[in-house]
Structure 1
Amino acid sequence: MSHARARRAIEVKLDAWAEAEGLMVAHGAEPFDPPEGQVYLRAFLIPASTTCRYLNASELEYSGIYQVSIITPIDQLISVPEQIIDQLSALFPLDSLLDRAGFLGQVSAPVEQGPTITEPDRYTVPASFTYRGSAAP
């Protein structure tokens, strides 16, 4: 299952950066207690269909979207998540390598900001990029 290896290749980079920045990251459906009144990240892998171009099935191709939602207290300026998106763009630039346990891939589209989702006490700004890569079955 190389989508899992792609996810881990991304998460290892994301987690190291977030720790250095003092940001907490919730991954997918893992249990997480959000910090009150602080910015934090919620990250998801959205896999696409696995394909194979080779008749002998020697390699499978994996692609998908990795989304990082920036959850921000309502009293923070929009520039706070926008700066984080700029940092994510530098962390995962177009064509950068993703390598983990037999999965070899790359970021195939740049980090893009999605629409802001507001709630009474916070707002969420999603950012995402696409990846693609291959691994032996």
Structure 2
Amino acid sequence: MADQSLRIVEILEQRIAVVASAQEVLVAWENIPFTPPQDKPYLRVFVLPATTQSLDFEAKAQTYRGILQVNVIAMSGNGVGESRSLAQLIADEFPEGRHLPDGELSVYISGQPTIHPGIQDRTSSGPTGGSGSISYTIPISISYRADY
């Protein structure tokens, strides 16, 4: 039986791409050069798989679980309203119980998405001696499961 981990990543990332495109929001994908917009929020996406577990003694049925981590990031000084609205929209697109089918494999959202409090990013020293925050991030954690 082939491992389905990468296929699950693709299914989840495809759904994020559809949502981001519909909202005209940029996504900073893994290992792809990206210049953050200065005037509006963007997304950074990570799929964090847990250890795959066998459901039977013959290891014919596997359970894949993990977290889809979506960070809404805005440049510091742009306020929180637009970022919070975008975080809620992302959470609403992944309600508990939602199925994301792809042939024989179906990924489903196994818990209510959690929108965490915003995080003010590190401070930096400017060339003139000034310092300030670089960005503001609202993390959204979305639990998923796929049985195959």
TM over 0.5: yes
Partners of 1:26 and 1:102 lie apart in 2 by 29
- Computed over aligned residues only, the root mean square deviation of the Cα atoms, in angstroms, reads 1.6
CA displacement at 1:121 relative to structure 2 = 2.9
Local SS of the residue matching 1:109: coil
1:48 aligns with 2:50: yes
* Letter paired with 2:60: S
Question: 5+ residue gaps in structure 1?
Answer: none
C-alpha separation between the residues in 1 aligned to 2:100 and 2:5? 12
Aligned to 2:114: 112
Contact 2:19 2:90 in 1 (8 A): no
Structure 2 counterpart of 1:90: 92
Q: 1:63-84 CA distances to partner (integer Å, 9 max, x unpaired)?
A: 0000111111222222212111
Contact in 2 for aligned 1:38/1:72 (Cα 8 Å):
yes
1:134 equivalent in alignment to 2:138:
no
Equivalent runs, 1:1-137 vs 2, <5 Å: 1-119=3-121, 120-135=133-148
Amino-acid identity (%): 27
Q: Which runs of 5+ in 2 are unaligned?
A: 122-132
Counterpart-to-counterpart distance in 1, 2:102 and 2:31 = 22
The answer as to whether partners of 1:5 and 1:101 remain within 8 angstroms in 2 is: no
| TM-score between both structures, scaled by the size of structure 1 | 0.88
Larger Rg: 2
2:60 is paired with a residue whose SS is coil
Following superposition, the deviation at residue 12 of structure 1 comes to 1.2
TM-score by length of 2: 0.82
How far apart are residue 101 of structure 1 and its match? 4.8
